Amino acid sequence: MKNKFLLTFIIFFAIFSFFIFLKALNNSNVYIADNIFKENLVNFKSQELFSTKEILSEEIFKDSEFYILNIWASWCAPCRKEHPILMKLSQNSQVKMIGLNYKDNFDSARNFIYKFGNPYSNIMTDKDGVISIGLGAYGVPETFIIDKNKKIIKKFIGPLSKKNLDQIILLVK
Amino acid sequence: MLASQIGYYSLVLGLFFSIFIISISIKNFNNNQIIDNRIFSLSFLQLLFVLISFIGLIISFINSDFSNVTVFNNSHTTKPLFYKISGTWGNHEGSLLLWLLVLTIFIFLFLVKSKKQPKKYRILTLLFQQIIIIGFFLFVLKTSNPFNYLFPIPSEGLGLNPILQDPILAIHPPILYLGYVGSSIIFSSSLAAVVLKYVSKEWAKHIKIWILIAWIFLTIGILLGSIWAYYELGWGGFWFWDPVENVSLMPWLCLTALLHCILVLEKKLILTSWVIILSISTFTLSMSGTFLVRSGILNSVHTFANDSERGIFILIFLFILIFISLIIFFFFHNEQKKIQSKINLFSKETAIIFNNWFMMYFLSVVLIGTVYPIFLDVLTGVKISVGPPFYHKLIIPFLIPFLIIMSIGPNLSWIKTNLKKINISLIFFFIISLVISFVILKKNNQSTLINTVLLFASLYLFFVTVRDFFNKNFKSYSQKIGHFGFSLLILSIFFNSLFSSEIIINLKVGEIYAFEKGIIKFKKVETFNIKNYKSIVGHFEIEDDKKNLIELKPEVRIYNQPVTITSEADIKTTLFSDKFLVMNVVKDHDFFNVRYQSKAFMIWIWISTLLLAVGGIFSLIRRLNEK
């Protein structure tokens, strides 16, 4: 009798912990670093993927209400997963989408874009990953929402989900 | 390319062997009196195929075959051969393949080494172990395939994170895994023993070897991780209560408790339920650790990838194992009540039980400190971080009775001790340690009550174990070395926190700074231009209070585009203290910010932990020779 009660209790607690961890798992994927809010976008200079011209970031981050900076790579499987969402986002005229190609090979990056479509208005390259470190990125993919004052207003770590898409659309209205 | 493909297909074949083994084992379970020989050959073949797969991955790494995604992400042609090879398990996919390899090696060894055990018990252990192996096979193949193909083939890889290019870190994960996986054998065999009602003295004797193996590897694995954090991360400490460190400490505490309880079970056939619970929880904690680290719930240097699919897989697998073990434990296990004898207060087993409760308390503290923030975040959205003060406040006071019981316990006999026989020296050492600790602390103006009592307790254990070395009883040498190591560990940690000093100053080149414990002379700086960073090396000369001169050369690296600055500390190790110096550039000023630390008895922390492991190894050797 006593054992049965104990068993029920432990099983109940195990199920409870299971759901907590499950929830935590979904939470941890997209979390916003609080301190990044006030930070401004750092300026950088890099080669553009298609033209291979050296461009300053100031030349790209202008004349738009909002910018979305997406760090991606052709070798990164989650990037492939989030690509349709980026394509959808690019239909929004309020935002200018900028890609930052992370530690990639030019040819495979171009092939990736030919194959899956180009959501970006500009693609910058970050061959050794130094620009991404400067932006405070943790890895690929990562997405920054930047306002017209070049302030980073939101940051998504990991692939964007449909839910994030709605969040972003609400944010840039 | 070929190596990768062979690796992939032999991995898939390995999974099929699991299914064969399970079906043959089930047939064999009730039929014959002897174990079907096919089980041995199949287990061996499974091991062989996983080994081929692992070697395939190593070859891909050595050849820098960038058509393999894992190699591309984690290797580089210019990397030294040693780091190419260690890169094989320095990433998520490869390290899981290593897990699988160790799992198959261990179950094969178990089958070979358990010939004296009943057939049904061996087969059932194999079955439980195969469930775990299948889980890992599916995990590797489905979510973390190390042989994914990349096209077009890149000409160069992305390289291994420089922080992970360290000889200690190259062997830290495999050793830790040997410990974790060793605990899986304990898990399977204890479940098998419960189902077959085989929890007996013979079982205890046989499983103790596996407990020792797991414990030794876990101890050394944690030690290596700690050494790496000290030298490479340059935080100037050895234990930070980082969640990822805690996650390896929890199974260790559980296993240490088990190691002692199994002795009681072997001698007196009591505590059977408790031993089973500990066996199950050790492995569950190891698995939870893997889950917490790999899922990205905890963010730290150890996190490989934030992929929630992987996390969900381990989570479900972990809870399936928990449910299986819960059901088996509640429906099959019944405590043998008849043999249950009275426990005398002054006996070895009482001491072991008492300290078991203390260890469970330490475990709960660590568990709560690690997991509670996750629960709180999910339930209320509040983010808290639990730091060292929490652990120190809750653990240190309880170390005192723990240490005293540890010193007296081994001197008691099993079952009942004749109090008159207790050696007078025990009381003598009691007074001596009290006096010494009081004198030391008074001299250094640190004599708070808790400090005095803690130092007294660890000194007491120290003296008692030293005295025990002179007893003729060779049988318990392993215990003496282990306990001596532990007392030394607590003493060195204590002196380390007491006598370490730190000075933070701003210095210009050529300046001299004198403080109460010595003089720091900033002699010169040299700058070098290296590939993608500028290196500034400072030359410092330090004269300590005993007039010893040491030269330290910390480095500052300024990476260009965008400007990132990192500091590399310089550490000089001696027998009594480590000198640790790090400098930082201060913007728009011509001086440097210099942090100089003298860390007392640092090396003794490593030595004493090693002694703990040596104690375990002694015991293991003795047990293996007994057979």
Residue B109 lies in a domain: yes
Q: Which of B111, B265, B107 is nearest to B199 (CA)?
A: B265
Residues A7 and A79 in one domain: no
Residues A5 and A56 in one domain: no
Mean pLDDT of A145-173: 81
Cβ contacts of A45 on chain B, cutoff 8 Å: 561
Distance from B308 to chain A by nearest Cα, in Å? 6
Q: Do A105 and B152 touch (CB under 8 A)?
A: yes
Q: Which of B3, B39, B257 is nearest to B127 (CA)?
A: B39
Q: Is A33 an interface residue toward B (CB < 8 Å)?
A: no
Q: Do A108 and B295 touch (CB under 8 A)?
A: no
Cβ(B570)–Cβ(B553) below 8 Å: yes
Cα–Cα distance measured from residue B181 to residue B191, given in angstroms and rounded to the nearest whole number:
16
Structure tokens at B89: 């398990």
Q: Residues of B near A (CB-CB distance < 8 A)? A: 69, 72-73, 148, 150, 152, 154-156, 158, 291, 295-297, 299, 305-308, 311-312, 315, 319, 322-323, 326, 330, 374-375, 377-379, 532, 559-562, 564
Domain residues for the domain of B508 are 502-603
The secondary structure of residue B476, as a DSSP letter, is G
Residues A73 and A24 in one domain: no
**Least-confidence region, from A30-44, B91-105, B246-260:** A30-44
Q: Which of B270, B453, B452, B228 is nearest to B356 (CA)?
A: B270
Residue B332 lies in a domain: no
Residues A10 and A40 in one domain: no
Whether the per-residue pLDDT at B564 is higher than 70: the answer is: no
How many CB pairs below 8 A link A and B?
A: 88
Q: Residue B342 has what pLDDT?
A: 65
Residues A37 and A104 in one domain: yes
* pLDDT tens by residue, B374-408: 888 788 877 776 778 889 889 999 999 999 999 88
Which range among A56-65, B80-89, B121-130, B431-440 has the greatest average pLDDT?
Answer: B121-130
Cβ contacts of A130 on chain B, cutoff 8 Å: 532, 559-562, 564
Cβ contacts of A16 on chain B, cutoff 8 Å: none
Percent of chain B with pLDDT over 70: 90
Whether the per-residue pLDDT at A35 is higher than 50: the answer is: no
Segments of B35-153 assigned E as strands: none
Q: Provide the pLDDT confidence category of residue B307 given band limits of 50, 70 and 90.
A: low
Q: Do B379 and A20 touch (CB under 8 A)?
A: yes
Residues A113 and A164 in one domain: yes
Distances (CA, A) of B251 to A3, B206, B289: 26, 21, 9
Q: Provide the pLDDT confidence category of residue A29 given band limits of 50, 70 and 90.
A: very low
Q: Is A51 an interface residue toward B (CB < 8 Å)?
A: no
Domain count, chain A: 2
Distance from A156 to chain B by nearest Cα, in Å? 12
Q: Do B562 and A107 touch (CB under 8 A)?
A: no
**Least-confidence region, from A125-134, B320-329, B568-577:** A125-134
ipTM: 0.75
Whether the per-residue pLDDT at B195 is higher than 50: the answer is: yes
Whether the per-residue pLDDT at B162 is higher than 70: the answer is: no
* pLDDT tens by residue, B74-127: 887 777 788 888 888 888 889 889 999 999 999 999 999 888 889 899 999 999
Q: Which of B110, B119, B111, B104 is nearest to B11 (CA)?
A: B104
Cβ(B221)–Cβ(B356) below 8 Å: no
Sign of CA dihedral B504, B509, B514, B518: positive
Residues A69 and A134 in one domain: yes
Residues A57 and A16 in one domain: no
Domain count, chain B: 2
Residues A6 and A61 in one domain: no
Q: Provide the pLDDT confidence category of residue B421 given band limits of 50, 70 and 90.
A: low
Q: Residue A34 has what pLDDT?
A: 41
Residue B210 lies in a domain: no
Distance from B195 to chain A by nearest Cα, in Å? 17
Q: Residue B358 has what pLDDT?
A: 95
Distance from A65 to chain B by nearest Cα, in Å? 26
Q: Is A103 an interface residue toward B (CB < 8 Å)?
A: yes
Cα–Cα distance measured from residue B18 to residue B15, given in angstroms and rounded to the nearest whole number:
5
Q: Do B319 and A130 touch (CB under 8 A)?
A: no
Which of B233 and B582 is assigned the larger pLDDT?
B582
Cβ contacts of B273 on chain A, cutoff 8 Å: none
Residues A39 and A50 in one domain: yes
Residues A26 and A108 in one domain: no
Structure tokens at B523: 């002699």
Among candidate residues B99, B131, B165, the one where a domain is terminated: B165
Mean pLDDT of A63-81: 83
Q: Do A128 and B155 touch (CB under 8 A)?
A: no
Among candidate residues B119, B146, B165, the one where a domain is terminated: B165
Of B326, B560, B562, the CB nearest to A10: B326
Domain residues for the domain of A143 are 32-171
Q: Residue B148 has what pLDDT?
A: 87
Structure tokens at B361: 């308390």
Q: Do A75 and B374 touch (CB under 8 A)?
A: no
Mean residue pLDDT across chain B: 85
Of B308, B330, B375, the CB nearest to A20: B375
**Cα Rg, chain A, nearest whole Å:** 20
* pLDDT tens by residue, A92-117: 877 889 999 987 878 888 888 887 88
Q: Is A81 an interface residue toward B (CB < 8 Å)?
A: no
Residues A116 and A129 in one domain: yes
Which range among A74-83, B199-208, B248-257 has the greatest average pLDDT?
Answer: B248-257
Tell me the pTM.
Answer: 0.79
Among candidate residues B139, B165, B191, the one where a domain is terminated: B165
